Structure 1
Amino acid sequence: MTNNHKIKPRKLGHLVLAVRDIHKSVEFYTEVLGLQVSDWISDQMCFLRAGTDHHDLALSQIPKDSPDINDLPRYSRPGMEHFSYLVDSLQDMELAADMLKARGVEIVRGIGKHGPGENCFLVFKDPDGNNVELYCEMQQIALDEEHGPQVWERNIESFDQWRFARFVVPPPAAVVKDKQGKQD
């Protein structure tokens, strides 16, 4: 793997926003924009879709008692947590991780597999500190399909179904703090 390797994303994917009031935000995005709810993680995160991807927008509740915005995946201010790009495969993601490490790019979390959406993920920083995610294998929901949102527990299974086995960096402290895998 050389530093000349380039990631070749297929499209801009989803965006995750940290919000002050998740229920008010979900109401806005469903009632005003007409998005559909795909799944929830407890009452802390909601995944919404406009098309067939499990989610193209996710909303994350800002913790009321968390002053540390660097303890991922928790945030204390509204705004973008990350945006993502679709890659073809897990193998492409693994090659990207090798290239990012070789270039000295900070990898934040991954490689993992989320519960909601079942997508594989790798998150890294751009030069301005923005979180950029590569993802693949996102669950698809047909436009005419009846889909009842699942409510996932906020734990290691919703964060990474592989339980950090493929992570190329140490997992976020907020996720591993509780030995049973329960997130704060």
Structure 2
Amino acid sequence: MNHATELGHVHLKVRDVDRAVEFYRDVFGLDVTERVGDYAFLSYGTHHHDVALQGVGPDAPGPGRGVGMYHAAFEVEDAEALRGTYRRLRDREVEVSPVDHGISKALYFADPDGNGLEAYLDTRAANDREEWRGKSERFDPSEINS
């Protein structure tokens, strides 16, 4: 049986493509690879795009609280990168919920259109733990060491 081997990209509908491009470029370090009409494609460099942004107009309703995707998660390389992401979000006055899962340190937040996002540092090796075990405790992102 053939199965997918990786997630190819995330496609998000946004009210303002330029605003969204600025956010994803500044917060996550993505580069624009192509702009076509109401679409922008952003990449880390190994694929044509990792994130596709589709402008749907300023009056489009935001994500609801019902069934649907909770968030897209972006893994960072190290503690310094997670601290930097936290600083960039705070500089933009984005509300951030920092959560220590035992296997990761995560920052939960929303983009300007309310799409749920996570930036996280995998800490499984540092904590010698492979399973989540339900831990979700707040932490101070400025004190991230590993």
> The TM-score by the shorter chain falls in which range?
0.3 to 0.5
Calculate the TM-score normalised by the size of structure 1. Answer: 0.32
